[in-house]
Structure formats: structure tokens, C-alpha cells
Amino acid sequence: MLDRTKDISVSAQAWLDEFERTLGRPEPAALDRLFLTDSFWRDVLALSWNLQTLAGRDAIARELTIVAPKAAPTGFKIAPNRAPPRWVTRAGTNTIEAIFDFETAIGRGSGIVRLVPDTANGDRLQAWTLLTALDELKGFEEQLGTSRPRGQAYSRDFRGPNWLDHRNASRHYADRDPAVLVVGGGQAGLAIAARLKQLNVDTLIVDREMRIGDNWRKRYHALTLHNQVQVNHLPYMPFPPTWPVYIPKDKLANWFEAYVEAMELNFWTGTELEGGVYDEAKGRWLVTLRRADGSKRTMHPRHVVMSTGVSGIANMPDIPGLADFKGTLLHSSRYEDGESWTGKRAIVIGTGNSGHDIAQDLHSSGAKVTLVQRSPTLVTNIEPSAQLAYATYNEGTLEDNDLIAASMPTPLARKTHVMLTEQSKELDKELLDGLRRVGFKLDFGEAGTGWQFKYLTRGGGYYFNVGCSNLIIEGAIKLKQFTDIESLVAEGARMKDGSIIPADLIVLSTGYKPQEYLVRKLFGDAIADRVGPVWGFGDGFELRNMYTRTKQPGLWFIAGSLAQCRINSKYLALQIKAIEEGILRA
């Protein structure tokens, strides 16, 4: 049945049929026959209620025998309205890729199986990778399409409150507390709040900025997104097809405002979380919010979702003589525009995306700029090299591509990005050779895994070249190494050879502290120690403490690119909804 045939749909469905029969009475030996020795299974809540990746046939079989009886998965069928089974190449391997639907005792899900012939077993098709992901909870489906609200509560009662009255009452929280407090109103906060809204979970977003979108609007003047528009949609409301390929930061900020209004999200601007404590007995938080007018509000949400970014506190390095500098000193998060620095001298310390972009912005405004490199940096041209990782998003549906992205286990994603990095090095050879000639120190990520894994492990350390590298090669922007600086002085930077680089402005493009620093500041040492590191992989295959339950009940984290937030907000929201309905323990 699982021999290779010309009809790959038949082959894929045959594998799913045998998989379902085997899960009915799971035994490791029977499951072994369905998987390659070196295979992977990623389960996103569907069978285990965890975000977890199992590596190796034996580990997969053992876990399935534990979780399948309780989850009771059935109805594995090739998804009728998705991309049909097809031959594709993933991580250098030619494989049949099939998207399927299924059900469990409590929900409905979708997944992807990738089948390859086992040459040691007569070319019998076996699973190389398997994804099982929960899409919805039975009885608690999202109110979409034909299930959308009818609005009868206000559209047919001419004497009652209208829609605006209901909206104002909802967002003011005069007589209640939200079930979920979302801290931070960027793409992460909007995505999780929108998902929870569709699941009827009362959610409030708070952000210290005075206007929705200011977390993008207030960034440096020239900023645009570095990946393309088709990758970056928010849930439920895709960007218009008229939008530019690379979205300007102010355009995105304005979209955030429109999104909050259109999705009817409750959002308090000018509001900062001062801190909170968790009441174990009552299963809720006591948090204090400070409003822009100086007033305070105490709330008791059952869940706090931290959506303040991969890291929330600016990293101010301990540079000798930093306090002696008499000019203007800014962290990159406070830099806005180069126009006021025309004809002035600037030093930018740090060679990630922000450092390069700020240096280029200052140069374009007529400043004399020196860029200081602290550590080797990955550089790749924004096109085509930096976009190679998003190739699948140029074809097919967003829903299919998001599932494909979720389906790649971390070890195979690493392998893929090694291959993409090698490809980009060839495409960018002239640029990289030029940078080496002027003394720029390059690296290509741990074990050559490229920019994506730099982002996933440390949140930076790379630059998508939109012209600054060319200016460095030409000498229009001067390059110095941080190790050659003895100290900062009143007039700029003193080098170890005794020379002075004069500066009116120093910009520290030195990144941010890990998010656990913010957890410690807001919730104290005990909770920070209990939760542990946030972001990065540690020894596992999943990002630490992201999009899933943590060791601190009621404390959640979501961060990342627009695509990451769009994909993973669904899974985070499903967990919170399941806890709210008593389906899942916190």
C-alpha cells in the first residue's frame, strides 16, 4: 500500500490511513514501520497540548503511544481546499509533501506529512517529517464568515445602546477587569489580542506610547521593513494588494491604528505596567497600571501576555569614558532623524541593521559618519539574498505557507539556512570581498546557519544591505573597530594609537537586554528565576518560553516578526481559551 505509485495523492492518503489505524491501538513496533529512522514529529498542541519536536523514530513512537489514546485523533484526510500533495525539495531532500486535516476529542487540526522512499525497505514510503497542529476547539470556534456576529443586540433595538455605546463600555473597563492583559501594542500584542477577540476572551492591550503604532512611528526616519509585504500580514486583515513591497514604518504604524479600530480591540495608550504579583490561591494577577495623566488602576487579570518584543530594555554597554563625552549620546531606540546633524560629526557604535541604517541616514543628511564594529557581523544584500528564506511566500496561499513554516523542525530549518547562506555568499561575493578589503569583520552565524538563526538565538547581529555597505567600501562612511578604541573622551573617541575621532553625536546601536531582565524588573526575582530565559533554543528544538505555557501560571510571551506573531498567536490564544474553559490546566 505504501509502495511508490504514480499517484502521490493515493500514496499520501494510504500513509494517513495506516497512521490513523495504528494510532487506534498504538504500539511502538507498528509505529516504527511508518517513520524513517531519522525522522521528526512536531506537535503544536494537537495531541500533546505542547509545542514540542521529537527527533528519531523511537522517540516519536514512544510519545505517540502515550498521547494518542487520550487525544483520540481520527479523520486523517488530504485537505480538500489546500495545496494538493506534490513533490517538493525541503532541506535538500526530495519529498512528497501533503497537507491534511484531522480531528481529536476536543478539537480540529491540520498538518503536513513529508514522505520519502526508504531504500532499505523496498522503497516503501515512510514519514520524514510530520506536523500535527491544533486549529480550533470544538464548541469554541472563531466567529468568522457565516458564524460572524449578527449585531442584533444593537441593530434592532432602537431604544437601546448602539454599537458605539457597546464599544465604549467594552474598552473603558469601568465595571470589570479583563481576563487577559497584553503588555505592548506592537505586532505581537495586536496579533494575540485579535485572536483572543475571536475566541470571546476579554482582552486589554496596554502600551506606554501615546498613540497606537508609535512603537514603529517613532523609529528612525528612514526605516522600512526589510522583508517583503506578502510575508507580513496580521491575522484576519491582509494588507491591500496596492501596498509597496517594502512597507515604510509610518505606513505600518497607521495600519496598526486602523487594525485596532477594525478588529474592535481594547487598547489603552499612555499606559505602563508598573509591576504585578500572582495570587496562587485565586489564580489571578494583581497588577498596577500607570496612566499618562498620573492616575493608577489596579487590575486582576487571570493572564498577562508580555508582547514587548524579543527584548524590552535598551542595552547600554559599559564603555570607558562614556560619562566624559560632552556631545549628544543616544541609544538607537531614541534616534529619529539625521537632518539636525547636517555638517556635524557622528559615531555609530554597532553594526546590526539599526547601526548601518542610522549611519546611512546620517550620511545622507550630510553628517560625517564613523561606524564602529564591536563584533563580526553577517551582511547580505536585501535582494535577492535576504529574501531567499521567504521563497515559499511568493506562491500558494498564506494559510498554506504559514503551515509549511510551522512544520519545519529546527534541525532541518538549520540545514536549510546553511544552504541558503552558502547561496547568498555566492550571490553577494563582490560585496563581501569589498567589505573584507576595508577591514570589516564578517561571520555567517553559528555553524553557518545565517541571519535567521542569529535572530532566533540573539535577536540581531546581521545587516540587510540597502546601501550602507557600499558606502563603507567606498570610504564615504569610515569604519573603525571597537577594539582599537581606548576610551571615549569629551570630544569623541580616543584611539589606542593616540588619535581622536571627533564627534558631536554618538549613537549606541548596541541592542537590547534579554527579556528576562524586564520580567525581573516587573515581577521580581522569584518569578524571573522560575520562568528562566526567554527566546533562543537552549538545549531544545523550540524557542524557550515563547507562545506556550511557562513555569509561572498565567504568564505568557509572544514576540518576533509579523509572520512569527501571525502564526504563533493562534496557538497561544488556543491555550488561553482552553484554560479559560477548563479544558487545559494552567
Give the integer Cα–Cα distance in Å for 18 and 2: 9
Mean pLDDT, the chain, integer: 94
User: What pLDDT was estimated at residue 79?
Assistant: 97
Query: Does position 156 have pLDDT exceeding 80, yes or no?
Result: no
Quick one: average pLDDT of 352-373?
Answer: 96
pLDDT classification of 146: cutoffs 50, 70, 90:
confident
Quick one: average pLDDT of 2-12?
Answer: 76
**What is the β-pairing status of strands 485-489 and 492-495?**
antiparallel
Query: Does position 3 have pLDDT exceeding 60, yes or no?
Result: no
pLDDT (tens digit per residue) in 434-456: 999 999 999 999 999 999 999 99
Query: Does position 268 have pLDDT exceeding 60, yes or no?
Result: yes
Which cell numbers in the block locate residue 188?
A: 505581537
pLDDT classification of 116: cutoffs 50, 70, 90:
very high
Query: Does position 2 have pLDDT exceeding 80, yes or no?
Result: no
Give the integer Cα–Cα distance in Å for 49 and 101: 17
To the nearest whole percent, how much of the chain has pLDDT over 70?
A: 97
Three-state secondary-structure class, residue 540: coil
User: What pLDDT was estimated at residue 313?
Assistant: 83
**CA angle centred on 260, ends 255 and 265, rounded to 5°:** 165
Quick one: average pLDDT of 570-576?
Answer: 98
pLDDT classification of 119: cutoffs 50, 70, 90:
confident
Provide the 10 A C-beta neighbour count for residue 294: 6
Strands (E), 20-179: 35-44, 51-55, 74-78, 86-90, 93-103, 107-118, 124-137
Three-state secondary-structure class, residue 180: strand
Give the integer Cα–Cα distance in Å for 101 and 77: 5
List, in order, residues 6 or more apart from 461 with CB less than 8 Å away. 352, 375, 377, 378, 445, 454
Reference 510, options 354, 322, 285, 312; nearest CA is: 354
Give the integer Cα–Cα distance in Å for 36 and 57: 6
User: What pLDDT was estimated at residue 427?
Assistant: 97
pLDDT (tens digit per residue) in 285-327: 999 999 999 999 999 999 999 999 865 688 888 899 999 999 9
pLDDT (tens digit per residue) in 485-509: 999 999 999 999 999 999 999 999 9
* Top-confidence residue, 493 or 514: 493
User: What pLDDT was estimated at residue 121?
Assistant: 80
Query: Does position 148 have pLDDT exceeding 90, yes or no?
Result: no
To the nearest whole percent, how much of the chain has pLDDT over 90?
A: 87
Give the integer Cα–Cα distance in Å for 218 and 333: 9
**What is the β-pairing status of strands 296-299 and 284-291?**
antiparallel
Give the integer Cα–Cα distance in Å for 201 and 268: 17
**What is the β-pairing status of strands 555-557 and 303-306?**
parallel
pLDDT (tens digit per residue) in 324-339: 999 999 999 899 889 9
pLDDT (tens digit per residue) in 160-188: 788 899 899 999 999 999 999 999 999 99
User: What pLDDT was estimated at residue 152?
Assistant: 66
* Top-confidence residue, 459 or 502: 502
First CA to last CA distance, the chain? 43
Amino acid at 27: E
Domains present along the chain, CATH in parentheses:
8-137 (3.10.450.50), 170-312+514-580 (3.50.50.60), 316-510 (3.50.50.60)
pLDDT (tens digit per residue) in 375-416: 999 999 999 999 999 999 998 999 999 999 999 999 999 999
Q: Is the peptide bond before 384 cis (omega within 30 degrees of 0)?
A: yes
Provide the 10 A C-beta neighbour count for residue 208: 18
Which cell numbers in the block locate residue 423?
A: 547561496
Which cell numbers in the block locate residue 408?
A: 519545519
User: What pLDDT was estimated at residue 405?
Assistant: 96
Which cell numbers in the block locate residue 119?
A: 531504500
Query: Does position 154 have pLDDT exceeding 70, yes or no?
Result: no
The DSSP string of 279-337 is ETTTTEEEEEEEETTS-EEEE--SEEEE-S-S--EE-----TTGGG--SEEEEGGG---
User: What pLDDT was estimated at residue 254?
Assistant: 98
pTM for the model stands at: 0.95
Amino acid at 414: R
Strands (E), 434-571: 462-465, 478-481, 485-489, 492-495, 500-502, 505-508, 512-513, 555-557
pLDDT classification of 1: cutoffs 50, 70, 90:
very low
